[in-house]
């Protein structure tokens, strides 16, 4: 029994697991290049806000430390869509709500394993009442959307080992 527990402990000691993610023991640092804003109608600081949101997620929910000079993992990307559209048309040519949709294209590089590299687009949206001015709730909507995008990127990076 003790031998089985020891073997199990040695297996799990080789990697770090938290909330369903797995990070190999040799991966200790990460770097996120500031995300570039490629869309004209988005708030000017949206790339910086997204970069900070992603960085905070990694710092708070992994063992990784931030290192811009020699990282084990490097993330870069760009905001590729920031659009508002009318959704759910109602009789009389009005819509029930509007939708804010944001997309980001991310690149991931693992310097410890150069085959572990990917590039992928992530997208999410949030709906809001058509009678509400977007500028009044824009920051809240962006935060909601970013939370989901960051979760998707985090899961893509750390659940595919």
Which pLDDT does position 12 carry in this prediction? 42
* Mean pLDDT value across residues 9-36: 72
- The whole-number average pLDDT for the span 53-80 is 96
User: 122 and 104 in contact (C-beta within 8 Å)?
Assistant: yes
Mean pLDDT, the chain, integer: 87
Q: Which pLDDT tens digit goes with each residue over 96-149?
A: 899 999 999 999 999 999 888 999 999 999 999 989 999 999 999 999 999 999
Q: H/E/C letters for each residue in 53-100?
A: HHHHHHHHHCCCEECCCCCCEEEEEEEEEEEEEEEEEECCCEEEEEEE
Residue ranges covered by each domain of the chain: 26-158
Q: List residues bridging with 123 in a β-sheet.
A: 103
pTM: 0.83
User: Residue 45 — pLDDT band, cuts 50, 70, 90?
Assistant: very high
For residues 107-127, one letter each, b for 16 or more C-beta atoms within 10 angstroms of the residue's C-beta and e for the rest, the string is: ebbbeeeeebeeeeebebbbe
Q: What is the pLDDT of residue 161?
A: 45
Question: What is d(CA 55, CA 101) in angstroms, rounded to the nearest whole number?
Answer: 22
Element (H, E) at 9: helix 2-13
Q: Give the fold, CATH level 3, of 26-158.
A: Double Stranded RNA Binding Domain (3.30.160)
Span 93-102, pLDDT tens digits: 677 899 999 9
Rounded Cα distance between 136 and 131, Å, is 11
- Residue 21: per-residue pLDDT: 77
Task: State the DSSP code for 12.
Answer: H
């Amino acid at each position: 029994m003790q031998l089985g527990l020891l073997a199990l402990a040695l297996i799990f000691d080789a990697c770090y697991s938290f909330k369903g993610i797995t990070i190999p023991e040799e991966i200790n640092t990460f770097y996120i290049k500031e995300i570039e804003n490629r869309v004209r109608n988005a708030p000017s600081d949206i790339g910086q806000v997204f970069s900070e949101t992603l960085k905070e997620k990694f710092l708070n929910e992994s063992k990784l430390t931030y290192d811009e000079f020699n990282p084990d993992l490097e993330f870069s990307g760009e905001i590729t869509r920031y659009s508002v559209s009318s959704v759910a048309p109602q009789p009389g040519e009005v819509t029930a709500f509007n939708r804010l949709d944001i997309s980001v294209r991310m690149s991931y590089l693992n310097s410890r394993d150069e085959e572990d590299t990917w590039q992928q687009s992530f997208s999410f949206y949030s709906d809001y009442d058509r009678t509400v001015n977007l500028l009044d709730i824009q920051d809240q909507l962006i935060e909601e959307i970013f939370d989901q995008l960051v979760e998707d990127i985090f899961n893509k990076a750390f659940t595919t080992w």
